[in-house]
Amino acid sequence: MHTTPAPGNLVLTRHPLIEHKLSIARDRATPTKLFKELVEEIAMLMAYEAMSDLALESVDVETPLESMRGWRVSGKKLTLVPVLRAGLGMVEGVLRLVPSARVGHIGMYRDHDTLEPVDYYFKVPGDVGERQFFVLDPMLATGGSGAAAVSSLKRAGAQRIRFLCIVAAPAGVQRMYRTHPDVPVYAAALDRELNAQSYIVPGLGDAGDRMFGTR
Ligand code: PRP
Ligand code: URA
């Protein structure tokens, strides 16, 4: 895994397995079941990088042979916050790495006409100020939904937030940076642009529809 320096707050997580899986996910012929599996696996690989600087504390360990000092993750309680619907597809992958993380939910959809985010649900665990949040949403297009999700978390008192998406567009990265310069954005790919309907191109289409077989 290596990260590529990118504009503003963007961290591109580069790895051959991510590139391979993402190309299959992008393919319009990839069926729903496989698409879901790929999103989950890519999210897991990305989380490995996005959590590479987690604080550790030392701990005593008894191996079958002797005592030693080992390490365990310490510090802020980890909290995953998928943006409904498509972000749900990333949760299980990240939980495979950090099974004790809590999961909040933010309900948000992009109005087809105005393209502005409409929020309809917000639920996160208590003691918000003590938590490290990872917002999950496969697509960062105009950035409206992502920026609004982060704003909701901040209104609730969150101070440490990272945003994980699979495909980002330059406009979305810029909007996140303008609105939340303190929030690192991790992405597996930075695509070329948005089309006239503000879909990411080349992109992977409508992530929620592809994940849940709707449309
Ligand atoms: C998609 C995606 C993001 C948003 C990105 O959700 O999962 O939340 O669009 O677009 P933006 O950056 O321009 O705001 P969508 O609104 O399609 O809702 P859904 O997941 O319920 O289908
Ligand atoms: N939402 C999606 O699911 N895909 C896009 O390309 C843009 C927004």
For the segment 39-77, what is each residue's pLDDT rounded down to a tens digit? 999 999 999 999 999 999 999 999 999 999 999 998 779
Mutation choice for ligand 1 from 121, 139, 180, CB with most ligand atoms inside 8 A: 139
| Residue range(s) defining the domain that contains residue 146 | 2-212
Catalytic residue (one of 69, 113, 114, 215)? 114
CATH number of 188's domain: 3.40.50.2020
What is the pLDDT at residue 113?
Answer: 87
Q: Which helix (H) or strand (E) holds 177?
A: helix 170-179
| Residue 9, token pair as written in the block | 């707050």
What is the pLDDT at residue 75?
Answer: 73
Domain count, the chain: 1
Angle between helical axes of 144-155 and 170-179 (0-180°, round to 10): 20
> Does residue 133 contact residue 154 with C-beta atoms inside 8 Å?
no
Q: Write out residues in the chain with pLDDT < 50, as ranges.
A: 5
Cβ–ligand 2 distance for 43 under 6 Å, the answer no
> Does residue 172 contact residue 143 with C-beta atoms inside 8 Å?
yes
Note the pTM of the prediction, 2 decimals: 0.95
Q: Which ligand is nearest to the CA of 167?
A: 2
> Does residue 117 contact residue 172 with C-beta atoms inside 8 Å?
no
Distance (Å, whole) CA 95 – CA 160: 19
CA nearest neighbour of 42 among 180, 213, 204, 214: 204
What is the pLDDT at residue 94?
Answer: 98
> Does residue 146 contact residue 135 with C-beta atoms inside 8 Å?
yes
| Residue 75, token pair as written in the block | 């510090």
What is the pLDDT at residue 1?
Answer: 65
Whether cis (ω within 30° of 0) applies to the bond prior to 85 is yes
Strand partners, 69: 60
Phi, psi (5° rounding) for residue 85? -90, -35
Distance (Å, whole) CA 47 – CA 38: 14
Protein residue whose Cα sits closest to atom 3 of ligand 2: 206
| Residue 159, token pair as written in the block | 């101070």
What is the pLDDT at residue 110?
Answer: 82
Query: What is the whole-number distance in angstroms between the Cα of residue 145 and the centre of ligand 1?
Result: 6
Cβ–ligand 1 distance for 49 under 6 Å, the answer no
